[in-house]
């Protein structure tokens, strides 16, 4: 039996695309953004892909999101997409 796709996968991918766009506009490397935000380059690359661990959508800490917002010079609200419709906080 197949399980329904996790709506948070799309949310995480949209977050990753927002990070990618903002970084491209600033013409920064992934390494520069990660270093300035205080996270590893590996972690930042995973966020841009919308991933955390293999097979799970990205779930960065609030501190990480705020740091990335500052490094990229964009409001946090521009990075975070609208939550998926019809999902609960526990899912």
Position 1 in a domain: no
* Residue 66, domain CATH: 1.10.260.40
Position 91 in a domain: no
Position 19 in a domain: yes
Is 68:37 a contact under the CB 8 Å cutoff? Answer: yes
Position 29 in a domain: yes
How many domains, in total, are found in the chain?
1
- Predicted local confidence at residue 4, as pLDDT: 64
Position 48 in a domain: yes
Phi, psi of 85 (to 5 degrees): -75, 145
pLDDT tens digits, 41-53: 999 999 999 998 7
Position 88 in a domain: no
Position 33 in a domain: yes
pLDDT tens digits, 7-63: 788 899 999 999 999 999 999 999 999 999 999 999 999 999 999 877 789 999 999
pTM, full prediction: 0.85
Which string of DSSP letters, residue by residue, matches the chain? Answer: -PPPPPHHHHHHHHHHHHHHHHHHHHT--HHHHHHHHTS-HHHHHHHHTTBSSTTSB----HHHHHHHHHHHTS-HHHHSPPPPTT--TT-
Position 87 in a domain: no
Residue range(s) defining the domain that contains residue 65: 7-79
Tell whether the model's pLDDT for residue 88 goes beyond 80. no
| pLDDT band for position 91 (cuts 50, 70, 90) | very low
């Amino acid at each position: 039996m197949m399980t329904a796709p996790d709506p948070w996968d799309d949310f995480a991918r949209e977050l990753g695309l927002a990070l990618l766009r903002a970084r491209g506009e600033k013409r920064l490397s992934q390494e520069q953004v990660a270093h300035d935000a205080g996270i590893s380059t590996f972690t930042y690359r995973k966020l841009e892909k919308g991933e955390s661990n293999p097979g799970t959508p990205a779930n960065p800490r609030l501190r990480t999101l705020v740091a990335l917002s500052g490094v990229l010079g964009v409001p946090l609200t521009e990075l975070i997409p609208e939550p998926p419709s019809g999902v609960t906080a526990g899912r």
